A and B are shown apart, each in its own frame.
Chain A
Amino acid sequence: MDKVQEEVNRLYKTHFGKMVASLLYFSGDIDLETAEDLVQDSFSAALTAWPKDGIPSNKAGWIFKVCRNKALNKIKEGKRFRTLFEDESFSSGEGKFSESAFDDQQLKLLFASAHPDLSPKVQVAITLKYVVNLKVEAIAKIFGMTVDGVDRLLVRARQKIKDEKLFLQETHLAALKWRLPIVHKILYLIFNEGYKSSWGKELIREELCEEALLMNKILLESRIGNNETAALYALMLFNAARFKSRFDASGGLLDLEDQDRSLWNKDLIALAHHFLEQSKGEIISSYHYEASIAYLHCIAKHFDSTDWVTISNLYLQLLQNNPNPFIELNYAIALYYSGERSKANTLLNHLQQNSFLNHYYLLNATLGKVNLLEGNYKKAKGFFLKTLEQTNFEVEKIFIRKMIDKTETKEKQKKI
């Protein structure tokens, strides 16, 4: 790839959303779609101009200047020329395009995405599109949806953002502070999407985690962030510290039990601990509980010496604020390892009664594992076979097949 192409690609990745946001911010006459087109055109212009004229020193500034001119022409065409565009601050756009202003624009877009009328999934989708700059195809892949489906979601979301008129006036982010919990949820979900093991070692996944961490950091530094932001940051860092150890050399999935704990990133764990300490305050959010659980996992030297009693208590507290069967499943697992086996079994049986959960692969995988540990190998195999039908991901299927082999060997050993 030649140098110009490389530079433009890099800029596109880092600046596309920011430039779209800036255009929206400076002119109320431009909608999101037009702004995207204009920025797209300006990047193409760079591809044509730079090989001839050389790469300018302020690359982002150059592209934004082209953007601005294109926007001006567009508005003149529509004969809706606004005095806003004669504004000093906008005319001198090139010089003013500083990085801190970029961060600010990005935060504004993030808060715009956190519209309470949109579902969390849609909020995540538009954040990925406009703040992280992912292509629709990539978003579709992440969500396991069709490109068409994602497009349909985005159209509706775009309208919501437009209705906001967030970019028309000098909206101060502080006025949107009430949306902070939604913003937290968006970052949490983006990180989770990236952290899911189902995809194996795919690169895009790690990038999602990095993006979530980056946005969280900007939020922390913006003075809008609060204790919850710090707790969420700690949670993400604790998990990020364990990122690499979840797969073996050939990319196979590893149980927490079998992970090489020496691979856990100690610097990240220390940093996470620092933020967990910092997050202490009056309000204890679900992120506080989850971060504390992650912390206890991270400081345990061995799987067996994990403080399962405290972990199960934390899950119980988490459940009080977020009653949902998926957390109950985690609670049951913690109970089992803390020695409360019959209590754990009762809860697992109860979850099995729910027909939705009965189709949930992680419930059946858990039941398989528990039965394997209890020595009910035939029963365990049955649950694992059920799990196998319930996941479509190859890495998970491989993992479950290994578990099935294990139940068979154990069963044979028992007979001898």
Chain B
Amino acid sequence: MLLIREDIEILRSATERNRRSREMINWVETLGESGNFFGGEPLAAIGRYISKDAVLSDGPFIEAKECISGYISLKAENLEQAVSISQTCPYVLNGTMILEVRPVLVNNE
């Protein structure tokens, strides 16, 4: 699973957001071709934080610089390959996006 983190400020502009999602879909298309892609969605830049105290906050979205803006499910041979796949993302290459790579735990029982 790739968690996509990027600068929330960049995403506030609609044209920029569209441009970036277009570029991302081009990249995802290459993952589809190589058989590595099987799912994913962008996330809206709104949300709520919920905790025990039942205090609902707008989350980090007001002051924080970075947010999780989507996720991508990958099929990869190993963690190394997933890392290597992430490194081919155009926005990772230009330094405006961070991809967190996390293996999904599979129950083998």
Contacts and interface: CB of A to CB of B under 8 A. Distances in A.
Interface of A: 116-122, 144-146, 149, 152-153, 156, 185, 189, 192, 286, 322-327, 354-357, 359-360, 389-390
Given A149-B93, A185-B35, A359-B22, A156 B87 contact: yes
A389 B23 CA distance: 12
B33 interface: yes
Task: Report, as a range, how many residues of chain B touch the other chain.
Answer: 20 to 34
B28 interface: yes
Interface stretch (B6-14, B36-44, B48-56, B57-65): B36-44
Contact of A360 (B29, B30, B76, B81): B29
B56 to A, nearest CB: 25
Nearest to B77: A116
A290 to B, nearest CB: 12
Nearest to A148: B93
Nearest to B37: A324
Contacts of A327: 32
A356 B88 contact: no
Given A119-B85, A119-B87, A121-B88, A356 B33 contact: no
A223 B78 CA distance: 28
Contacts of B96: none
12 contacts: A116-B77, A116-B81, A119-B36, A119-B81, A120-B34, A122-B88, A146-B93, A189-B33, A326-B37, A356-B25, A359-B18, A390-B25
B85 A326 contact: no
Given A156-B84, A359-B25, A390-B22, A192 B77 contact: no
Contacts of A185: 34-35
Interface of B: 18, 21-22, 24-26, 28-30, 32-42, 76-78, 80-81, 84-85, 87-88, 90, 93-94
A326 B34 CA distance: 11
B86 to A, nearest CB: 8
Contacts of B81: 116-119
B11 to A, nearest CB: 14
The secondary-structure label for the interface of chain A is helix
Contacts of B84: 117-119, 122, 156
A325 B37 CA distance: 9
A360 B25 contact: yes
Contacts of B93: 145-146, 149, 152
B13 to A, nearest CB: 16
A180 to B, nearest CB: 14
Nearest to A122: B84
A33 to B, nearest CB: 20
Contacts of A325: 32, 37-39
A396 to B, nearest CB: 13
Contact of B32 (A117, A145, A326): A326
